[in-house]
Amino acid sequence: MKSPNHQTTTSDWRLIPGYLNEGRSDFESAQILLGNFLADRTSENPLGEKEILAEDGSFEWGEAPPLEKVINSREDLEFLLKHPSLFRQSITIIEPWENVGVNANGEEVRASKNVAFIAQKVADIDSVLLPVWSSGVIDPDLVVPAITSGYAVVVEGGDPSTYDPSTWTSPACSREDMFSLVDKLLISRSPSSAAAIFICVGHQLAAESHIRLIRRAVKEVLSMTSLERDRDGKALRLLQHVAGSIEAMGKTLEVKKRDGRVVASGWEDQHFAVTRNETKEVGDRVLLAYQSPDPDALAIPWEIIHAHDVTADAHEGVIDTTIQYEREVSISMFHSDEVNEEAILFANWAYRSIHDAIVPYRHIIAGSSLSWLIQLPDAVEILCSTALDGEIVTECSASCINYKDFETKKILRSFTCQFHPELLSNLQAIGSGEAPSYSTLKDNDGVRLFVRLLYAGMQD
C-alpha cells in the first residue's frame, strides 16, 4: 500500500481487472460470485479474507488500489478510453456531491466508497469514480457511451436539492450539468449497455429527468409540420394527438401531500418531480410494497393510476419481488427531499403512451429527427414505500425503469432508490471504522438488495 498522502496518477492504475484475485476477474466470474452471495446468508467467502483497506484502516479514493481509478480530468478519461477493458470490467460510480450527508457522529459520509468496497469484497469487481462535483461533467456524449460499456453505472447521492439551483454550489458542476448527464444516461440503455442504479439524489435526478425528457418529446412532436417518409401523415397525427394529451395532463396535474397541501401545480412547477419530504428520514426503515393511491382522495386521474397498475402487473422490478418473497427488508434512509408519487405515475403513463404510439410507425420514426424517442423508457414502476409509526412517509422509495425493445420485445431495466442500500445501520463510509466482514455484508438487507440490483442488471 502507498502512503495515505500519495495521490495516484494514471501510471499507478491497475490494467488487469480484479484486486483480491488479480487477473482472474471477468464478467462470468463476477456473475457467479454475485449469485453465490445471494444464494444464502451463511456461506463462506470464496475469495478469502484478503484486506482491502490500507494497513492504517484508511480507504480513500485516489490514494491506493483498489480505489486508484478516479477521473479528475479529460486526460484521465482519455487514458481510460485507450484501455477500454478498464471500463468494461468495472462499475463506474458518479458522485454528484462530495458526500451524501453527515451522520450522527459528525462524519461526512462518502457512500461511493461503500459501493466500491461491496463490489470488490463480494465479486472482485473494480470501480472507477467520476466525481463530477470536482471534475465537472466531461462531455456526456463522450462519457456516457464509455461508462455504460461496463457492468453498471451507479449515480450516488448528495446534499443539494434538485429543485433548487442555489444549492448546487460547486463551480465545477451546476444543476443543469447534472441534468444533462442524467438525461443522457436515461436514453442510453440498450442490449449492449449497462444498467444504471440511481441512489438518493440520483433517484431524484432521474425523476426530474423523466419529466424533462417527456416535456422535450412533447415540444418537438407538437412543433413539427411533417415527418420524413410519413406520406399520409398518420404517424405524425397520432404522435401529436398523444403529445397533446400528455401536455394537457402535465399542465393540470397537481401534486398533493397526504395532509392535503398542494405543493405543485403542473409540470412546469419546480416542485413537480421532487419536493421537501413531510418528515426527514434518517436511519433504518422497513420497505413496504407500493400500494396504488385512491384517486378520489388525492385527485389523481384514474388513467395514470390504471397505467401504473398495468405496468406493475407486466414487469418484475427486483425490489418488489424481494419484498414479497424474502423476510422483512430493512434499509438505511438518509434524506430530506422525496420524489413525488404523482410525477412518477404521470411519467409512466406518458412513456407508455409514447411507446404505444410509436409501435406501428417505428420504421418511420427510426429514420427521422424523432428517432431519439425510440430510446425513451417504455415504463417506470414505483416499487416500494416507507412508513413511520404506521404512516407512509415516502411513497416512492424506489422505482424500476423499463425499456422494451421494439423488435425482440426483451425488457431491459435500470433502478432508482431513495434509500442507501450500500450503507449499513451505522451510516458510516468504509474507512471510518472497522470494515464489515463478508458475513456481515451477506446478512445485511440493504447490501443484499444492492447486490441483487447489480446482479439483475448484469443479466438483462
Query: pLDDT tens for residues 100-115?
Result: 988 889 999 999 999 9
Structural domain for 355, as ranges: 10-459
Residue with the larger pLDDT of the pair 391 and 251: 251
User: Does 408 have pLDDT greater than 80?
Assistant: yes
pLDDT for 327: 64
How many angstroms from the chain centroid is the CA of residue 280?
21
Residue with the larger pLDDT of the pair 455 and 258: 455
Give the CATH number of the domain where residue 421 resides.
Answer: 3.40.50.880
pLDDT for 103: 86
Does the residue 1 lie in any domain?
no
Smallest CA-to-CA distance from 429 within 54, 113, 67 is with: 113
Listing from the earlier edge strand, what are the strands of the sheet with 274-289?
Answer: 126-130, 90-94, 152-155, 195-199, 411-417, 391-404, 379-388, 274-289, 330-339
User: Does 354 have pLDDT greater than 90?
Assistant: yes
pLDDT for 6: 57
Residue with the larger pLDDT of the pair 432 and 347: 347
Lookup: cell for 79: 487514458
C-alpha distances out from residue 26 to 23, 32, 65, 414, Å? 8, 10, 18, 22
Going by pLDDT thresholds of 50, 70 and 90, the confidence category of residue 391 is: confident
Residue with the larger pLDDT of the pair 213 and 336: 213
Distance from C-alpha of 315 to C-alpha of 317, rounded to nearest angstrom: 6
Does the residue 261 lie in any domain?
yes
Q: What is the pLDDT of residues 267-321, one digit of tens each?
A: 999 999 999 887 777 778 889 999 998 877 778 999 999 999 999 999 888 888 8
Distance from C-alpha of 62 to C-alpha of 260, rounded to nearest angstrom: 48
User: Does 3 have pLDDT greater than 50?
Assistant: no
Going by pLDDT thresholds of 50, 70 and 90, the confidence category of residue 360 is: very high
Cβ–Cβ < 8 Å for 84, 149: yes
Does the residue 255 lie in any domain?
yes
Q: What is the pLDDT of residues 71-104, one digit of tens each?
A: 999 999 999 999 999 999 999 999 999 999 888 8
Beta-bridge mates of residue 287: 386
Does the residue 422 lie in any domain?
yes
Highest mean pLDDT among 105-109, 258-262, 347-351: 347-351
Does the residue 436 lie in any domain?
yes
User: Does 39 have pLDDT greater than 50?
Assistant: yes
Distance from C-alpha of 127 to C-alpha of 52, rounded to nearest angstrom: 13
Going by pLDDT thresholds of 50, 70 and 90, the confidence category of residue 2 is: very low
Number of domains making up the chain:
1
Q: What is the chain's length?
A: 460
Residue 21: φ, ψ to 5° = -140, 65
Cβ–Cβ < 8 Å for 261, 380: no
Arithmetic mean of pLDDT, 234-263: 94
Distance from C-alpha of 154 to C-alpha of 380, rounded to nearest angstrom: 18
Does the residue 5 lie in any domain?
no
User: Does 57 have pLDDT greater than 80?
Assistant: yes
Distance from C-alpha of 48 to C-alpha of 62, rounded to nearest angstrom: 25
pLDDT for 22: 83
In three state form, how does the secondary structure of the chain look? CCCCCCCCCHHHCCCCCCCCCCCCCCHHHHHHHHHHHHHCCCCCCCCCCCCCCCCCCCCCCCCCCCCCCECCCHHHHHHHHHCHHHHHCEEEEECCCCCCCECCCCCECCCHHHHHHHHHHHHCCEEEEECHHHHCCCCHHHHHHHHCCCCEEEECCCCCCCCCHHHCCCCCCCHHHHHHHHHHHHCCCCCCCCEEEEECHHHHHHHHHHHHHHHHHHHHHHHCCCCCCCCCCHHHHHHHHHHHHHHHHHHHCEEECCCCCEEEECCCCCCCCEEEEEEEEEEEEEEEECCCCCHHHHCCCHHHHHHHHHHHHHCCCCHHHHHHHCCCCEEEEEEEEEECHHHHHHHHHHHHHHHHHHHHHHHHHCCCCCHHHHHCCCEEEEEEEEEECCEEEEEEEEEEEEEECCCCCCEEEEEEECCECCCCCCCCCCCCCCCCCHHHHHCCHHHHHHHHHHHHHHHC
pLDDT for 299: 81
Q: How many CB atoms lie within 10 A of CB 252?
A: 11
Does the residue 93 lie in any domain?
yes
Cβ–Cβ < 8 Å for 108, 98: yes
C-alpha distances out from residue 38 to 244, 293, 322, 445, 448, Å? 46, 33, 11, 11, 7
User: Does 5 have pLDDT greater than 60?
Assistant: no
* pTM score of the predicted model: 0.95
pLDDT for 193: 95
C-alpha distances out from residue 417 to 97, 245, 319, Å? 17, 29, 10
Does the residue 73 lie in any domain?
yes
Cβ–Cβ < 8 Å for 114, 91: no
Q: How many CB atoms lie within 10 A of CB 251?
A: 11
